[in-house]
Amino acid sequence: MATYDSVFDTLGLRDWCDGGTSSAPMSMSDLLNQGGAAPEVSLWDLPFPSLDALNSACAAIPQTRDLTLGLETGFLAIRDSLRVVLDPATQPLSWMLRNAISTMVETPWWIVIPVLLLITWAVTRSARLVGFVAVSIGFLAFIDHYVYAMQTLAIIFVCAFICVLFGVPIGIAMSRSDRLQRGTIPVLDMLQTLPPFVYLIPLIFLFSVTEPKLYGIAIILYAIVPVVRLTDLGIRLVDRDVIEAADAFGMTSRQKLFGVQIPLALPNIMAGVNQTIMMSLAMVVIASLVSAPGLGVLVLRGIRNLELGVGLVAGFGIVLLAILLDRVTKASLSRIDASQKHR
């Protein structure tokens, strides 16, 4: 006799619970229970009335496994339809990732490294930071991690670019509509709080493991949240007096947006870009579980094969890339702040 049998008997639901079920014992515990009185359950040991506990007393109530199985069956039923829509829409992402990785890896190092240093100088104007980037990449190349580091950087560049491409317009739209903001914030909260591994589960069912878009979509969904939130916040924080002055000059909405709001919100937007890049790097490591190339593969190899040195050195390389990207984006953010103050 199950713990909650008396509850269903008291409510008069026994016929409903036993409807369509066989009276034959189905398990050894059932057989044992038929042999004598069921042991009494003290209040201390009372199980929580979960689906499984209630199912043991009433077969009409589904088990937790039935719930997850139903979800899985429902997803598989619509998978082919989703593929028809998502496959062509996401194919450009696969091309971008594949070409970016190929370009970064197959171009000679004596071209790639100077180009990266020139980009660093262009956005930071800091000789010390350029030196730091040169030493960091030189160190990774010295320990034969250059190819893995370039693969990681290529994935981050592509995913961060797409995050900014879609995230900034979404943030601008949110700042202009309270209703859209109220509808979007729960979605952003969900994206931000879901464990990173969960992003990979539905994508594995939708795409082949060999397709770059599998991990690309997971990285973008995980990393797009900060740039959307901070774009919305930055534009909303623009001083109302400035907006009224722009209105007084007869500026149109488009002129206000591109001439006043975005320039003044740029520090916040760049802070969002910084966070997006950092989250992309974190997700690249996790995405190595589903064939994402880069330093994450070495970390995964260290865990699987218990190769302590391989995992620790690759992990140090990831930390080095994180520091490098963080310093470069923050230096560019400082330049933007300084230019805003001199206006």
Of 136-140, 306-310, 334-338, minimum mean pLDDT range: 334-338
State yes or no: pLDDT of 91 exceeds 70: yes
pLDDT band at 134 (very low <50, low <70, confident <90, very high): very high
Residue 73 lies in a domain: no
Mean pLDDT calculated for residue range 240-255: 84
- As a whole number of angstroms, the distance between CA 246 and CA 99 comes to 44
Domains held by the chain: number: 2
Q: Do residue 53 and residue 104 come from a single domain? A: no
pLDDT band at 333 (very low <50, low <70, confident <90, very high): confident
- As a whole number of angstroms, the distance between CA 129 and CA 292 comes to 29
Q: Residue 271 burial (CB < 10 Å; 0-12/13-18/19+)?
A: buried
Q: Do residue 28 and residue 84 come from a single domain? A: no
Residue 68 lies in a domain: no
Q: Do residue 110 and residue 31 come from a single domain? A: no
User: 232: domain CATH number?
Assistant: 1.10.3720.10
Instruction: Say what the pLDDT of residue 203 is.
Output: 83
Q: pLDDT digit string (tens) for 146-185?
A: 999 999 999 999 999 999 999 999 999 998 888 998 999 9
What domain range includes position 47? Answer: 4-62
Count, residues in the chain: 343
Mean pLDDT calculated for residue range 323-336: 84
Mean pLDDT calculated for residue range 21-29: 52
Q: Do residue 25 and residue 119 come from a single domain? A: no
Residue 67 lies in a domain: no
Per the model's pLDDT, the better-predicted residue between 82 and 33 turns out to be 82
Q: What average pLDDT is seen over the chain?
A: 84
State yes or no: pLDDT of 114 exceeds 90: yes
Instruction: Say what the pLDDT of residue 44 is.
Output: 78
Question: Mapping DSSP to helix (H, G, I), strand (E, B) and coil, where does residue 15 land?
Answer: helix
Mean pLDDT calculated for residue range 231-235: 91
Per the model's pLDDT, the better-predicted residue between 153 and 1 turns out to be 153
Token pair recorded at residue 29 = 């515990």
Q: Do residue 197 and residue 245 come from a single domain? A: yes
Q: Do residue 196 and residue 305 come from a single domain? A: yes
DSSP string, 182-223: HHHHHHHHHHHHS-HHHHHHHHHHHS-TT-HHHHHHHHHHHH
Q: pLDDT digit string (tens) for 265-281?
A: 888 888 888 899 888 88
